Structure 1
């Protein structure tokens, strides 16, 4: 069944290139064997359409206390086929990133608890907003100069925004993710729906499920896994009912 999960993370300077290699399953990460597809876009000209150069430059030139990248990690409906997921992800990227530089990858590892595919999206993007100024790499990540933009770096998307505004933006992103997934689930003829709201906001009187982690799952017996999975499905509204956060 489809379940809703959407979180945003920040990566510090020096971590961007390595993380990009991880999500793209490059180098020794390729042994995981769970990559479905990747993509990128809105890259500055000096990258020659190579996303790795963007993240290497962010690691080198971003301010020491600045985020080198943001990342959205989103669970995708396992009811959808690969081509349907491609279409869904393409629309998500447009909705969530806009014109900012980005790179994404979709992984589909086998769940160690239920033995089913667990497709999810890693969407990395830069907060640096492109404009009409053609900047070299080192200038793109320098401080923005509002009086003379050509002499400074690209403005950051979250610059000057309050914590409340950032929270509202995250809620809007989560809702957009849920709405798009539900559109594709309905088109597929599936009755399952996802909901971006908290259980409390949905009026569901139970605690949110805790992440078990691979180590704890590996310590569970086959019987314990079956029991846990059955309880999870019953809490989510029987075998085929809608699922929540």
Structure 2
């Protein structure tokens, strides 16, 4: 879920802060602070993704982070000097890394750099659930020689940033606040990425929400919570989340109650224009759908579900039919193999008998008979090999390796097929029963609507039964007008 967070602060020497140290901490780079002659380095588990954006008239050296912020420290002489402005912005988790980078670059370029500020950007992804960016901004005009005077016009963008965290642009007509601008940039990026998530700069109060907003943890509290230690800010969020859950439960109850009351009113109106038979038909459909009140949308939805159930039957039955034919084919092949093996054995026995014959006068005749039987055996062996080859082609699809396994699988399949056919038969009967009940209820609901609409048009009270449901819906749109000016049947027919 995309979250909105944008906070702003001034990095100031009066607070004991250093622009070089701040840049080193956010970028994860080792920087040398020339003013204090100290090395500034803060190791990070995940290396930040950094970039420096400069105005077109800025010198090339401003893209060097170490020199950029040391020059800022040099040009600011006062002990209470304001050194830089900074924004801390939560990046939408629905965007990938490249999309997040493109978003923050576009925002900084158009909102700050084009106005003349240098933007030092660092994207932090230490926590996969909390990707965010730091944007450090310079406070003085720049030219080819470096920094000039402080630009007081930029202060309006960050007016009262510390006090109310709003940062409204006060001096430009029609210009949106920085906070609102960020929401617009982020939402366009989410839309481009085909995400349905959106963020808003508005407070819960301004949005009319009863739930309390959680507060930003900050890196100190976030690190504590990550290590299993409870922080004060984390405790505030836990209490607010607990409160919000109660509010959400109450809101859900109110919505459900309002929906129930609305449905009961609809049922009362529906029944006031229904016959006793129609009331019974509508009630049957309501019971079937396990609802107190049934609408045409409910009926149409169930019709669609029943059609999908029915559509699933045909492919299942076709599948069983195809498999049944395959099992029959293999069974027939095994029968043929068995018959051929019997014939082969019979012919082999006759050959053996001829070998044992000792009458020398029938030797030639016996040899001819022997040759005939051997040729017959050869033909039978060839036929048997063909049937066995056909059987081999079914072993993988029917999952068997020998004749015994085949008949076990055939038996399992037959049992499975019989059970599935019984189930399909039962489902078809149920679909028919439900469809009949739903059709009767659909007709009853439509007739109730026709009578209700007809009651507002005096000339239709007797002709109501001839009014179609679609035309009743068209006339329903003009009931308020009909209450003020009677509409005759002639006028309705022309319309």
Cα distance, 1:73 vs structure 2: 0.5
Whole-Å Cα distance in 1 between the matches of residues 4 and 19 of structure 2?
Answer: 26
Q: Which residue of 2 aligns with 1:204?
A: 209
Q: Which residue of 2 aligns with 1:243?
A: none
Report 1:4-19 matches (<5 A).
4-13=4-13, 15-19=18-22
Structure-2-length-normalised TM-score: 0.38
Asked if 1:25 corresponds to 2:28, the answer is: yes
Aligned to 2:252: none
Q: Does 1:74 align with 2:89?
A: yes
In structure 1, C-alpha distance between the alignment counterparts of 2:187 and 2:70, rounded to whole Å? 36
196, 220, 229: which is aligned to 1:219?
Answer: 229
User: Given the superposition, is the C-alpha separation of residues 181 and 95 from structure 1 closer, same or farther in structure 2, using an over 3 Å criterion?
Assistant: same
Which has the larger displacement, 117-126 or 9-18? Answer: 9-18
- Whole-Å separation in 2 of the counterparts to 1:235 and 1:209: 15
Structure 2 residue ranges without an equivalent (≥5): 31-40, 171-175, 250-495
Per the alignment, in what secondary structure is the counterpart of residue 31 of structure 1?
coil
Match for residue 119 of structure 2? 102
1:201 is paired with a residue of what secondary structure? coil
Give the aligned length: 212
Aligned to 1:179: 184
Q: Deviations over 1:134-189 (max 9, x none)?
A: 44x5xx35xxxxxxxxxxx3534436899589842296111111111111112222
Secondary structure of residue in 2 paired with 1:95: helix
Contact 1:128 1:157 in 2 (8 A): no
Could you tell me whether the CA contact under 8 Å between 1:106 and 1:120 is conserved in 2? yes
- The alignment's C-alpha RMSD in Å is 3.6
Give the stretch that moved more between structures: 63-72 or 208-217.
208-217
Q: 1:162 to 1:177 in 2, by over 3 A?
A: closer
Check whether the contact 1:24–1:38 (CA below 8 A) recurs between aligned residues.
Answer: yes
Higher fraction of helix:
2
SS at match of 1:200: coil
Whether contact under 8 Å (2:125, 2:131) holds in the other structure is yes
Going from structure 1 to structure 2, the CA distance change for 1:82 and 1:100 (only over 3 Å counts) comes to same
Q: For 2:123 and 2:247, locate their aligned partners in 1 and report how far apart those are by CA, in whole Å.
A: 25
The TM-score normalised by the length of structure 1 is: 0.72
**Cα distance per residue 1:113-142 (max 9 Å; x no partner):** xxx431101000112123xx544x5xx35x
Structure 1 residue runs of 5 or longer lacking an equivalent are 111-115, 142-152, 239-245
1:24-63 pair list within 5 angstroms = 24-27=27-30, 28-35=41-48, 37-42=49-54, 44-45=58-59, 47=61, 49-63=63-77
Corresponding residue number in structure 1 for 2:487: none
Structure 1 counterpart SS, 2:2: coil
TM-aligned CA deviation for residue 230 of structure 1: 8.1
Conserved 8 A contact 1:88-1:184 = yes
Q: Report the Cα offset of residue 54 of structure 1.
A: 1.7
Structure 1 residues 182-236: Cα deviation after superposition (integer angstroms, max 9, x where no partner)? 111122222211110111111112322134523245236xxx99xx598699699
Q: Tell me, yes or no, if the aligned pair for 1:129 and 1:156 is still in contact at 8 Å.
A: no
SS of 1:29 mapped into structure 2: coil
CA distance in 2, matches of 1:234, 1:190: 26
Q: Is the 8 A contact 1:127 1:157 kept in 2?
A: no
Q: Higher RCO, 1 or 2 (CA under 8 Å, sep at least 6)?
A: 1
Asked if 1:118 is matched to 2:146, the reply is: no
How far apart, CA to CA, are the structure 2 residues paired with 1:173 and 1:230? 28
> 1:29 Cα deviation (Å)?
2.4
Tell me the distance in 1 between the aligned counterparts of 2:75 and 2:22. Answer: 17
How far is 1:34 from its partner?
A: 4.5
Structure 2 CA distance for partners of 1:103 and 1:83, relative to 1, 3 Å: same
Q: Judge conservation of contact 1:71–1:123 (CA < 8 Å) in 2.
A: yes
Q: Is the contact between residue 104 and residue 121 of structure 1 (CA under 8 Å) also seen in structure 2?
A: yes
Contact 2:156–2:169, Cα closer than 8 Å, also in 1: no
